[in-house]
Copies of this chain bind each other. A is one copy, B any other.
Amino acid sequence: MSHHYSMVAKHVNNIQAEDKIFAANREAVNAAAMYGKEQVINATVGAILDDEEKLAVMPTVMEVLRNIPDTEYAAYAPIAGTPDFLEAAVSAAFKDSRPEGFIKAVATPGGSGALRHTIWNYSDIGDTILTSDWFWGPYKTLAEENLRKLGVFSYFDKDKKFNLASFKEKSSELLARQDSLVILLNSPAHNPTGFALTGEEWLQLLEVLKHQAADGTKKITLLCDIAYIDYAGPSGRDFMKHLSNLPENLLIVVAYSVSKSLTMYGLRTGAAIGLSANKDVVQEFYDVCQASNRGTWSNGTRCGMKLLSTIMHDSEILLQVEAERKELEQLLVERAAVFTEEAKQIGLDTCPYKAGFFVTIPAIQPGDACDRLKKDNIFAVPLTRGIRFAICSVPAVKLSGVPQKIKNAIG
């Protein structure tokens, strides 16, 4: 009876069977059910598992969440977010490195919501959004869902440093044909590679943008995706001071999320934080993001907002949370050391890892390589030109030998 009939509108180009990351995770979960957890390495999803392979939840965070009053779960949050949350999100994002300038935040579901609002409001339909060639796959989904394209520059030069020349070339190329340019930059603890720009590289990048903004004809928005910043070591926020006093047509948006910072991925709590030397630009940012909230998902998860604001307003609780997070960061450091040292020994090339949840291995045919790894019960995520391996979810004891198996799978 049923025949192939399509109901969707002509512009809908974004049909896909299943998200690659969650699909790979599903396969890994099935394999663990079949062969036993100890036989399976599930390096798919970006969530920290402890050394017993249980989802790491910080006890203090959970205790604060459990003690939130009933109404803070039940009630609607204001469309823009509760004021105490917005203040807390700005503090948590910048900590001691708050740039000078006007700053206003709007609550969004995780960092994804901040990306959506920035793409939607600060580029034109049909525009190309710019990011690095190694990127989190959903950047493309976010661009395409909103009828933009995603263009890339080479993130690394031949010395595995920030490729300023490529960034300059690609951004200039796009600005030559677009009125506006939205750039998605994920640093530090970059997903998927673990890369971070140095302070010097940040200055160079901003010099390029200031030069491009200089004649005032173009509108440039630099979205700093700092999803993993709380796992990037003590210097992770050093770049923020460079974001002060930029030209008014160079807007900074910081995508902040509690997903990783509080390991509360499922609460969908985050913020889009606008920063500009021009007060109007930041007020406009707040206004359009608030309207965009109402026009997409209405408002945010109130208990997640209360969770962050409670933690940020009590210095004792905050210290405890930071200590617990430090332990998780230490897990990542250990796991990364095991992986990258073996990789070095056996000559497996990796992208330049500095910190974070993932290590990425370049590969010509990543899909095939990931399929071969599945036969060893190793599950990772195929990217366009490599394999993303989530060290965040694999205990150190399971990691030795993995680089060799990856090397074999790449062939």
**A7, A112, A113, A266, most chain B CB atoms within 10 A:** A7
Residues in B with CB closer than 8 Å to A77 are 266
Stretch at the interface among A158-166, A190-198, A280-288: A280-288
Q: Which of A222-255 contact B (CB under 8 A)?
A: 248-249, 251
Given contacts A221-B7, A288-B15, contact A141 B295 (CB under 8 A): yes
Q: Does A73 contact B (CB under 8 A)?
A: yes
Q: Which of A257-285 contact B (CB under 8 A)?
A: 259, 263-268, 276, 278-281, 284-285
| Interchain nearest-CB distance for A392 vs B (Å) | 13
Residue of B nearest to A305 (CB): B266
Q: Roughly how many angstroms separate A70 CA and B54 CA in the complex, as a whole number?
A: 11
Q: Which of A67-90 contact B (CB under 8 A)?
A: 70-79
CB atoms of B268 and A8 under 8 A apart? no
Q: Does A299 contact B (CB under 8 A)?
A: yes
Q: Roughly how many angstroms separate A7 CA and B64 CA in the complex, as a whole number?
A: 39
Q: Roughly how many angstroms separate A112 CA and B145 CA in the complex, as a whole number?
A: 17
Of the candidates B7, B15, B57, the one whose C-beta lies within 8 Å of that of A70 is B57
How many copies of the shown chain assemble into the complex?
2
Q: Which of A1-32 contact B (CB under 8 A)?
A: 2-12, 14-19, 22, 26
Q: Roughly how many angstroms separate A294 CA and B248 CA in the complex, as a whole number?
A: 31
Residues in B with CB closer than 8 Å to A72 are 266
Q: Roughly how many angstroms separate A71 CA and B53 CA in the complex, as a whole number?
A: 12
CB atoms of B79 and A57 under 8 A apart? no
Of the candidates B8, B12, B141, B296, the one whose C-beta lies within 8 Å of that of A294 is B141
CB atoms of B138 and A295 under 8 A apart? yes
Q: Roughly how many angstroms separate A3 CA and B219 CA in the complex, as a whole number?
A: 16
CB atoms of A73 and B267 under 8 A apart? yes
Residues in B with CB closer than 8 Å to A109 are 109, 268, 297-298
Q: Roughly how many angstroms separate A76 CA and B14 CA in the complex, as a whole number?
A: 22
Q: Roughly how many angstroms separate A125 CA and B11 CA in the complex, as a whole number?
A: 8
Q: Does A43 contact B (CB under 8 A)?
A: no
Interface size on A, residues (CB 8 A): 92
CB atoms of B265 and A74 under 8 A apart? yes
| Interchain nearest-CB distance for A148 vs B (Å) | 10
CB atoms of A7 and B219 under 8 A apart? yes
Of the candidates B8, B121, B123, the one whose C-beta lies within 8 Å of that of A122 is B8
Residues in B with CB closer than 8 Å to A304 are 301
Given contacts A66-B66, A297-B110, contact A12 B74 (CB under 8 A): no
Q: Does A302 contact B (CB under 8 A)?
A: yes
Q: Does A322 contact B (CB under 8 A)?
A: no
CB atoms of A291 and B112 under 8 A apart? no
CB atoms of B144 and A295 under 8 A apart? yes
Q: Which of A90-126 contact B (CB under 8 A)?
A: 108-110, 112-113, 116, 120-125
Q: Roughly how many angstroms separate A287 CA and B299 CA in the complex, as a whole number?
A: 24
- A residues in contact (CB < 8 Å) with B: 2-12, 14-19, 22, 26, 45, 47, 54-55, 57, 62, 65-66, 70-79, 108-110, 112-113, 116, 120-125, 138, 141-142, 144-146, 179-180, 219, 221, 248-249, 251, 259, 263-268, 276, 278-281, 284-285, 287-288, 290-292, 294-304
